[in-house]
Structures are given as structure tokens and as C-alpha cells.
Amino acid sequence: MKKIIVHSPGTVANLVCGFDILGLALEEPYDIMELALLDKPKVIIHNRDAFGLPTEAEKNVAGVVLLSVMEKLQDRIGFELTIEKHIKPGSGIGSSAASAAGAAVAANHLLNNIFTTEEVVQFAMNGEKLASGVKHADNIAPCILGGVSLIRSIHPLDIISIPSPDLYVTVVHPQIEVRTADARQILRQQVLLKDAIKQWGNIAGLVAGFMKNDHDLIGRSLEDVIIEPIRSILIPGFDEIKKNCKEAGALGGGISGSGPSVFMLSKDKQTALAVETVMKEVYEKTGISYHTYVTTINKRGVEVV
Amino acid sequence: MKKIIVHSPGTVANLVCGFDILGLALEEPYDIMELALLDKPKVIIHNRDAFGLPTEAEKNVAGVVLLSVMEKLQDRIGFELTIEKHIKPGSGIGSSAASAAGAAVAANHLLNNIFTTEEVVQFAMNGEKLASGVKHADNIAPCILGGVSLIRSIHPLDIISIPSPDLYVTVVHPQIEVRTADARQILRQQVLLKDAIKQWGNIAGLVAGFMKNDHDLIGRSLEDVIIEPIRSILIPGFDEIKKNCKEAGALGGGISGSGPSVFMLSKDKQTALAVETVMKEVYEKTGISYHTYVTTINKRGVEVV
């Protein structure tokens, strides 16, 4: 029985001013997925973690991805998948995308890479649809491609890899629940033109900063005047964390995905560790349980090990 | 008497999806300005063209720039300026910016470059304020720096040069009047969040396309879903020009500044000339007088000759 193991990384979507269009992959945490090819059209799923996710293929994020691959191949094959998740569901760092993208890349690999990267992204987006009701690619794309991904358009799909310096990422995941649907619900349908102009100045600056390796420009551009002022009220301690992390030397950061995790970018490890200390201090005061990561941008994406 | 001559180029601001933040400099047309240093605190202006612009310093775009330089230097000097404008006022390709930027750069040069580029931009913005009531830099910055300029922020001023491929620019200037104030008036104060997201996806794609020398990506990203649908109604034949120019091979384009000029980017001269033919065909039918330019991106900005 042909089988492989992949590591599928966490991701930060909604990269500050890049709401809905910009995401990056993390070195840590990552899920470990073992996938085997079957000669019967069925999907068998085993969980090797304590998250208790559904094992029926139709209700499992990775399962629906594999079903869509099977459908494309007219059910001539099946899959057996064992998932060991390390990215906690609901954390805001791309847990469902890791399951979906990992399954799609692993399946394509077992099938001798018959599908293009765009097709693999499309398969994986079926998993995001199950998880959040929306086929979005801002976690899927960086998870598969690694690095920083721009999703210029969803229809038609247009994904652009943005070169970036080797930045450090500090993430704090407060153990509270922010439902993606709620986080979307509270957004306003209309925004002020003057705010939108500020935002597109910042996104242009951020892309230029990444591509020029200009840390200062990245820092100046990491400002979100539209989404963050609304969503940050769902995250206890957000303003204090952001202020203190910048004082500790972080280039900037914001809400990861639709929260509750908060991330900060730093140019070196020492700063990233100082930022972690600041995050811990804030959450120790609130009494909310939390988990932190100090990691870097993963430039490889899902990888076969 | 110390004097110099500068060439100050036309510019395209509001670069499609880069409304208010992105502009580029043109090889042609350019204004010719001769500036001399006086030892008395006065500004003398001569016009060597047929546009009949005011020669009182306080009412002249270049004049107010020179007055602001004099003020900074506590009136220990004065200037005598001769302007030969080739960029028609009101054309939408940065006529006032060329006067303002040319005067600021020339004055700084005569003063042995005692001011920083940012200070020179600030002086020049006084001219834009006289011309349009607003201190904006999206023509001034590319006029002074050359190439493509991103104005990430006005307060504080943050200008970033965006490297770009050697693109050709075709411009058609229909001889109608579009008042900048009117063009601003008809914009909506609020925009849909989903349109704003599309726009910032496109601006991110455009900056990445310029920096990656990716003509296709530049073409796909040259789309404005917010400003152009409203302002283009002020420009006769706009939709037909845009459609036909793209069919003729243009990467894309749109309204230059607040119009009435329309510009198109092409990757080679042959295409840029075919685009010019298409523009002429459309305006021949309308009976509106027009002028066309086939030129390239000027990467030097205002230069001393």
C-alpha cells in the first residue's frame, strides 16, 4: 500500500492591512498527516490527537478534500488518512487550512503529482468551505506554497508568491472562542473611501517592504484602519498587547485570521522572544489561559517527509 | 548670475487601482524651466509659452513654491524664472506638478542641494495646493524621483520608489475640460468593503507585478472597481477606448490623474503605437480635438540640463 507522511503548517491570514488577500506560513506549529492510497472508493480517517474531530469523511475538512479528489478521478481510488493535529481548531492560525491543504498535497503526491498547484489549491478550498462556509484561499495558499501569498482574486483564482525577508513570528493564542461567523458578522459592509485609500497605501507599502527587504517600511505599513478597530474588541487585551509588543521592538502585527490568536513580526529572534514575554505578561494579568509560539516564516509549505 | 535649466516631466497619477497613492513619470511631454538666483527677495516670472498663466508669484504654481523656499531662507535670496510649458494645464498629466516640482528642484540645485528630497517634495506640494486646493504628492513624487512612486502616506510624508520594467505609455488628451474639483465631488464618501478588498488585492498585485517584471500580473492588476466606474462618465469614449486598446495589446490603463487624459501601458513600442491608432480612431469619430503621446516611463525625474 503506497503511503506518505506530510507536515502541514499553520498560517496567518488577514495579514493586518491585507484583509482577505494576504497570508503567510509558519514553521510551527504543523499537523502531521499520514495518507495511504486504497484501491476502493472510500475514505477512512483516524485521529491521532485529542481534538475529537469527526471521522466521517463528509464531515471532516480533510475528508471532503479527499472526496473531491476521488470524484475528479471518477472514484477509481480511495484514501486512508491518519491525522495528528498540533494546530488547535479555532485558534485562528489556519487549523482547517492545514488539514485541507495537507490532504490535497499528500493525495496529489500519491497520484504522482497529476494535478497543478492551482488544482491542488482548488481541492483544498473544499475543506475551507466545510469549515467556514466560504471557499477562501488566504490560509490555503501560503500553507501549500510557503512564504507570503497574495490572493489577488478568488474568481478567477490568482495567487502570487511575495518574496519576503526571514522574519520571526510570535503568536499568542488565548484560549477563548471567536467564531469566524461572528467575526465576519460584525464587519461593516461599507467603509469610508478615505480609510480604504489609507489601507491600499499600506498594502502597497507592505508588499514593497517585503520585496525590498525593508524592515522599516514593513513596520510602517503594518497598520489596519478598517478591520482591526472592529474585530479587536473580541480579543481581550488586544490594544495593550499591540502597544507593548511594538515597544518591545516588534515591527507590527495584529489579529491572526479572524482571531483569537494575535501575531507579531520581528526582525530577529531576540526581539521575537522579548515580544513573547510581553504577550505572556498581558495574559497572565487577565487570567485567560494562553499558548505562545516563537517561530519563523515557513518558505516551503506542506512538505512530504 | 547663477542660473540653470531643468526639464520637468509630465506624470500620470491615480494609477488605476492606485487612486491617490501611485503615480509615474513620463519621458514626454516635459516643461523647460530656466531659473536664476537673485540677491534680492523677489520672484520674477516670465512665460515663454502661449498658456497665459499668471506671472504674479503668489498666483503662479512655480511662484508659490519659490516663495516658500525664500521664506525658509528668511528672504536672503530671490529668483527669476522663465517657464516654457509643454504640458498643457488641465490635461490631467501633471502640468501643475511639473511647474511646482521643476521650480523646487531647480531652486535646491542653485542652493547647492541644501534641502533633502523630502523637503523639496514639501516645497513643491505648496504649488499643488495653489493649483488644486490640496497638498497631494502623487504627481510631485514621480516628477521629482522619476519612475513609479508610491505615496503610502501624506501625514507623515512617506514616499517609496517602486522599481518597474521599461514600459511604454500611450496617452490621449481629449481637448475637453474636467475640473479636478468636479472629478473629486462626484466620488462617493463610502465604498463597499468587498470592492475595497478587490482594490487592495489589485494594488498589491500591481506593486508585485512592477517589482517582479511580470507583465501579465501588471495587466491583470490594472483594474479599478471604485473610482473609474464613476469618473469615466466625464470622459467621452472612455469605455470604447479602454476596450479597444486592450484588444490592441495594451496591458491596461485608465484615467490619468482626474482626467481628461487617458493612458495605457504596453510592453513594447509597436503595441504602444497600435494603441495610439486605436485612440485616434475613437476620437476621430467623436469629433473632439485631441492630442496623443507615445512615450516611456521616465526614470530620472526632473533633471538639470
Q: Residues A81-130: pLDDT tens digits?
A: 999 999 999 999 999 999 999 999 999 999 999 999 999 999 999 999 99
- Residue A162 to residue B205, Cβ atoms within 8 A: no
Phi, psi (rounded to 5 degrees) for A143: -60, -40
Query: Is A180 noted as a catalytic residue in this protein?
Result: yes
B220 within 8 A of B257, measured Cβ to Cβ = no
**pLDDT at A219 (0 to 100):** 98
pTM of the model: 0.96
- Residue B196 to residue A198, Cβ atoms within 8 A: no
- Its ipTM equals 0.96
Kindly tell me if the per-residue pLDDT of B257 is higher than 90.
yes
Query: Is B27 noted as a catalytic residue in this protein?
Result: no
DSSP A15: B
- Domains of chain A, by residue range, sit at 3-163, 168-296
**pLDDT at B264 (0 to 100):** 98
Comparison of pLDDT for A134 and A161, the residue scoring more: A161
The CATH code of the domain at B3-163 is 3.30.230.10
Extract the C-alpha cell encoding B79: 529668483
Please tell me which of the candidates A150, A205, A220 has its beta carbon nearest to residue B205: A150
Kindly tell me if the per-residue pLDDT of A6 is higher than 80.
yes
Give A-chain residues touching B158 at CB under 8 angstroms: 205, 220
Within 181-220 of A, beta carbons closer than 8 Å to B belong to 187-194, 196-208, 211-212, 217, 220
Q: How far apart are CA B33 and CA B258, in angstroms?
A: 25
Kindly tell me if the per-residue pLDDT of B129 is higher than 90.
yes
Is the minimum CB–CB distance between B76 and chain A shorter than 8 Å? Answer: no
**pLDDT at B195 (0 to 100):** 97
**pLDDT at A75 (0 to 100):** 80
**pLDDT at A177 (0 to 100):** 85
| Percent residues over pLDDT 90 in chain A | 92
Q: Does domain B168-296 have CATH number 2.40.50.100?
A: no
Cβ count within 10 A of residue A91: 21
Q: At B224, is the secondary structure helix, strand, or coil? A: coil
* Measured CA distances, B119 to A262, B108, B112, B160 (Å): 38, 10, 14, 15
**pLDDT at A93 (0 to 100):** 97
**pLDDT at A141 (0 to 100):** 98
| Percent residues over pLDDT 70 in chain B | 100
pLDDT digits (tens, 9 = 90+) for A213-227: 999 999 999 999 999
Q: How far apart are CA B34 and CA B103, in angstroms?
A: 9
B150 within 8 A of B15, measured Cβ to Cβ = no
Matching fold, domains B3-163 and B168-296: no
Please report which confidence band the pLDDT of residue A179 belongs to, taking 50, 70 and 90 as the band edges.
Answer: confident
Kindly tell me if the per-residue pLDDT of B185 is higher than 90.
no
pLDDT digits (tens, 9 = 90+) for B33-82: 999 999 999 999 999 999 999 999 999 999 999 999 999 999 889 999 99
Helix A61-72 × helix A117-132 angle, to 10°: 140
Extract the C-alpha cell encoding B70: 525664500
Alpha-helix residue ranges (DSSP H) falling in B146-192? 180-185
Kindly tell me if the per-residue pLDDT of B175 is higher than 90.
yes
Kindly tell me if the per-residue pLDDT of B181 is higher than 80.
no
CA-nearest residue of chain B to A214? B160
Q: What is the mean pLDDT of chain B?
A: 96
Please tell me which of the candidates A152, A188, A201 has its beta carbon nearest to residue B201: A152
B170 within 8 A of B279, measured Cβ to Cβ = yes
pLDDT digits (tens, 9 = 90+) for B264-277: 999 999 999 999 99
* Measured CA distances, B245 to A124, A220, B56, B209, B248 (Å): 38, 37, 42, 20, 5
